[in-house]
Amino acid sequence: GESVGLHLPTLSVQEGDNSIINCAYSNSASDYFIWYKQESGKGPQFIIDIRSNMDKRQGQRVTVLLNKTVKHLSLQIAATQPGDSAVYFCAEKGSGGGADGLTFGKGTHLIIQP
Amino acid sequence: GAGVSQSPSNKVTEKGKDVELRCDPISGHTALYWYRQSLGQGLEFLIYFQGNSAPDKSGLPSDRFSAERTGGSVSTLTIQRTQQEDSAVYLCASSLAADRITQYFGPGTRLTVL
């Protein structure tokens, strides 16, 4: 079946630096790509999404880039803060009918060093 | 307002027993999802409810798993004859019908099968 995966399981950055979390996907038919943040002991929290016909979208301190040519998705977090420490999941939503659940990658653990 | 709530937060059971997990979605959210998250893994889609329509059960791993949604609100996920491989965190999410991208997750139920 289709899959969504991540390049790095753990990323450690200094507080105040920018961080980039990468994700590879294989389902070219996905309508949307989404980033979720999961803190320890909590459910995932929506961060930002991007539609498949876009290549960049910005939010507050976050930017998502989509490169459909190489099927690559990234999340950039500017000026990281201690509260950014969490596991970050990329996810995709398929197009058309069928399952409306999201397909999640395995996650990247972002560690912010003081 | 209140977010998605799940109960119990933790459940320890013996192999072969049945368990019921409960989810209260956000008021007004007609879409409800169940996911399973094994240790150190991403989320695995299980089942999706939209209003009073028949649920999308395409993600259920076996016929020991079933779910109901009464009155378009509260949902119960039932696992019969539990196995050790069923041990995981079971997450529930809800969303507005028109926006199935932004899913709001509950804190999850951690199920341990001994």
DSSP state of B26: P
Report the residue of chain A nearest B42, measured CA to CA: A106
Distance (Å) from the alpha carbon of B56 to chain A's nearest alpha carbon: 6
Interface of B with A in 2-31 (CB under 8 A): 4, 31
Instruction: Tell me which of A22-26, A27-31, A108-112 is least confident.
Output: A27-31
Long-range contacts of A98-101 (CB under 8 A, 24+ apart): A98/B56, A98/B58, A99/B45, A99/B48, A99/B56, A99/B58, A99/B59, A100/B31, A100/B33, A100/B48, A100/B50, A100/B56, A100/B100, A101/B33, A101/B35, A101/B45, A101/B46, A101/B47, A101/B48, A101/B56, A101/B59
Q: Which residues of A touch B (CB under 8 A)?
A: 4, 32, 34, 41-46, 49, 89, 91, 93, 98-107
Distance (Å) from the alpha carbon of A57 to chain B's nearest alpha carbon: 15
Sequential pLDDT tens for chain B (114 residues): 589 999 999 999 999 999 999 999 999 998 999 999 987 777 899 998 988 788 888 889 999 999 999 887 899 999 999 999 999 999 999 998 767 788 999 999 999 999
Distance (Å) from the alpha carbon of B67 to chain A's nearest alpha carbon: 15
Q: What pLDDT is stored for residue A97 in this prediction? A: 45
Q: What is the pLDDT of residues A58-114, one digit of tens each?
A: 999 999 999 999 999 999 999 999 999 999 999 998 754 445 678 888 889 999 998
